[in-house]
Structure 1
Amino acid sequence: MQSKGSKHRFSTMANRSRIPSLFISMFATFASIYVAGRLWQDAQNRVYLIKELDRITGQGQSAISVDDTLKIIACREQHKKLDALKVELDAAKKEGFVSKGLIESNGTYSKRRPLVVIGILTKFGRQKNRDAIRKAWMGNGASLKKIEDGKGIILRFVIGRSANRGDSQDKDIDRENGLTNDFLILEDHVEGSQGNAEKAKLFFAHAADEWDAEFYAKVNDDVYVNIDALGATLATHLDKPRIYMGCMKSGEVFSEQNHKWYEPEWWKFGDKKSYFRHASGEMYVISQALAKFISINRSILRTYAHDDVSAGSWFIGLDVKHIDETNFCCSSWSTGAICAGV
């Protein structure tokens, strides 16, 4: 027989063991209620989202997951915001604003992005030509900076290096550039042994790499440019993504070696020996997308005897808008002319 003390200890131990069990049961009950509540809430959310998706898409009952539903709804909201922004942009354009390079009534442009980079292709021994251009329409020093900041037009003389690197010709150009700071020197182009076609290609490539402009223009160093007329003309074409603008022509291909305009690869241009449509070389303009194209493909773009023909050949197979702008015909000054040869 157990003593009264033993019975008392047994009863006490049993009571103690019931207390943890009670706590465990209560915890399990509350946990079950919490989980059930969360599941019910998620189920309610799922039902709500699916109903919302059905209402938005109009496609009846949907079995799509909640995560995918949220993504679709977020995507739809983004589309709504984009549509609203497009409406605002269209309204702004109708009021005379443009998305890039805003033109003002006084002929100046916003500083968001340069309007055009003009490369004036020049050679050794032609400082008199360059000085005449600086005096006539390009300016120098503060006036050149004013054109850049006020009109968004960047002007640079473009030249390569001498075949004898570091000789007096190179030093003369470096000395002149030190005074004027208006050269783009093509370190990878050799003057004389490589023609203007290669120089023009490298100018567009380097200019596109250095300046994020709307347009890029090539000009000869015996041409005078009406800066204001050029800026106003280009501003009307800001909405066109790929343009090639100039005084368009075709012209005869000359196969006689003693001819001034001899084309060594004349046989590529067909039996009638007539060039394809291209802009005259005195001055022509391309948009940013085409300059970037030249920059990316500079190593494989073919050049012919003349830079204008070469440039035209690069764009034949592309979706490019050719703009025949008669005011780019630089034979002489005329009313509204953009350029003139001298």
Structure 2
Amino acid sequence: MQSRGSSNRLSSTVVKTPISSLLFSMFATLASIYVAGRLWQDAQNRVHMIKELDRITGLGQSAISVDDTLKIIACREQQKKLTELEMQLATARQEGFGSKSSVDTNDNRSEKRPLVVIGILTKFGHKKNRDAIRKAWIGTGTALKKLENDKGIIARFVIGRSGNHGNSLDKGIDSEHKQTNDFIILENHVESPEEFPKKAKLFFAYAADKWDAEFYAKVNDDIYVNIDALGATLATYVDKPRAYIGCMKSGEVFSELGHKWYEPEWWKFGDKKQYFRHASSEMFVISRALAKFISINKSILRTYAHDDVSVGSWFLGLDVKHIDEAKFCCSSWSSGAICAGV
């Protein structure tokens, strides 16, 4: 038989057990609701963040890596620069600037490349020679222009400046050029006999930069040129990209001081004292590629005592086609000659 105290403890235990279970169930339910709510909120935040990322980057439905983000930033910077350049280009075009090809396209015309640019190397006091050349084979005014337009032959007298810049010699050339408009005046070249090879180099460099011709010719101002024969002959060599055309020779190197053809650096040409193969000075022609070579390297190309030797030396190490053309032997007066001394 149980005691009264035992009965009370049992009753208390029976009463407390259902209450504890109920409280535990309520707590678990609330905890589940809280966790589910947090998970739902996190999911909503993640969706919102992805949508915002998609809206900013415009790259679709999925998140992107750091590398991809950096690439996007770089692309945007390039796009920004491209847009700025396009705006600058549009502004330049409005101000009249544009590439030669675009100008030709807009004008529906293509400019034909000149056949040859002839540099007639002249000197102070040689006006009679120049007038004789104008009368004999290059013409003046409209005739000179017709020679350029119809035959593709550009002819100019080449001269530098006097040692006393701006004196009567310079003024005389300026006045003559104003009347005839047929000079190339080398402003940074001082006229002197020993600087004649340098003058030839500066002419080729200047002409190659100013005119994109097939050929470039050097002629002395005491030479008569048969323009028609020159044009016909050069037309046969257009397919030779590195042509060096002239009356080829290999003359003696003179080491005696005071000799007309004295070469101060004679010792560079070997024990036999013979020059390498080169074209005679009166007249010779080089192709566009060789003229461009001179223009690019003019500051380091060595000149010797004579212009023909100097030019020939520049081509020794190049893959150049030396064309020995008898028609360029100006002193021979051969049949069909292109040039002749006067």
Query: TM-score under structure 2 normalisation?
Result: 0.67
**CA apart distance, 1:129:** 0.4
Q: Could you list the structure 1 runs, at least 4 aligned residues long, displaced by more than 6 angstroms after superposition.
A: none
Deviations, residues 2-33 of structure 1 (Å, cap 9, x unaligned): xxxxxxxxxxxxxxxxxxxxxxxxxxxxxxxx
* Corresponding position of 2:212: 212
User: Where does residue 318 of structure 1 map in the other structure?
Assistant: 318
Match of 2:185 in 1: 185
Residue correspondence of structure 1 range 1-342 to structure 2 within 5 A:
112-192=112-192, 194-342=194-342
Is contact 1:209-1:295 (8 Å) kept? yes
What whole-Å deviation, never above 9, does each CA across 1:309-335 have from its counterpart, x for those lacking one?
000000000000000000000004332
Q: What SS class does the counterpart of residue 264 from structure 2 fall into?
A: coil
Pair member with larger Rg:
2
C-alpha displacement of 1:258: 1.1
User: How many equivalent residue pairs?
Assistant: 233
Residue 262 of structure 1 contacts residue 305 of structure 1 at CA under 8 Å; is this kept in 2?
Answer: yes
RMSD, matched Cα: 1.1
Judging changes above 3 Å, is the alpha-carbon distance between structure 1 residues 128 and 193 closer, same or farther for their aligned structure 2 residues?
closer
Match of 1:50 in 2: none
Output the CA distance in 1 between the equivalents of 2:277 and 2:140: 36
Per-residue deviation, 1:201: 0.2
Structure-2 separation of matches of 1:288 and 1:188: 24
Whole-angstrom distance in 1 between the partners of 2:271 and 2:185:
40
Deviation, structure 1 residue 138: 1.1
Question: Residue type of the partner of 1:339?
Answer: C
- Inter-partner Cα distance in structure 2 for 1:279 and 1:328: 9
The one-letter code of the counterpart of 1:168 is S
Question: 1:23-80 CA distances to partner (integer Å, 9 max, x unpaired)?
Answer: xxxxxxxxxxxxxxxxxxxxxxxxxxxxxxxxxxxxxxxxxxxxxxxxxxxxxxxxxx
Deviations along 1:152-193, one digit per CA (max 9) or x if unpaired, are: 000000000011110000000000000000000001110016
Distance verdict in 2 for CA 1:146–1:111, change over 3 Å: farther
SS in 2 for 1:187: strand
What letter matches 1:252 in structure 2? E
The normalised TM-score by structure 1 is 0.67
Kindly state the Cα deviation for residue 194 of structure 1 after the two structures are TM-superposed: 4.6
Q: How big is each residue's C-alpha offset from its partner over 1:95-115, in whole Å with a ceiling of 9 and x where there is no partner? A: xxxxxxxxxxxxxxx951000
2:194–2:305: 8 Å Cα contact kept in structure 1? no
The C-alpha deviation readout for 1:97-138, integer Å capped at 9, x for no partner, is: xxxxxxxxxxxxx95100000000000000000001101111
**What is the CA–CA distance in structure 2 between the aligned matches of 1:254 and 1:237, rounded to whole Å?**
34
Match of 2:16 in 1: none
Q: Distance in 2 between matches of 1:255 and 1:272?
A: 12
Structure 2 SS opposite 1:172: helix
Check conservation: 1:116, 1:214, Cα contact below 8 A.
yes
Provide the rounded CA distance (Å) in 2 between the counterparts of 1:333 and 1:138: 20
Deviation at 1:196, TM superposition (A): 1.3
Percent of pairs identical after alignment?
Answer: 79
Query: How many Å separate the matches in 1 of 2:249 and 2:210?
Result: 31
Structure 2: which amino acid aligns with 1:188? N
Which runs of no fewer than 5 residues in structure 2 stay unpaired? 1-109
Deviations along 1:224-266, one digit per CA (max 9) or x if unpaired, are: 0000000000001111110000000000000011100000000
Can you give the 5+ residue segments of structure 1 that lack an aligned partner in the other structure? 1-109
Q: Following the alignment from structure 1 to structure 2, what is the Cα–Cα distance between the partners of residues 245 and 339?
A: 13
C-alpha deviation, 1:141, in angstroms: 0.6
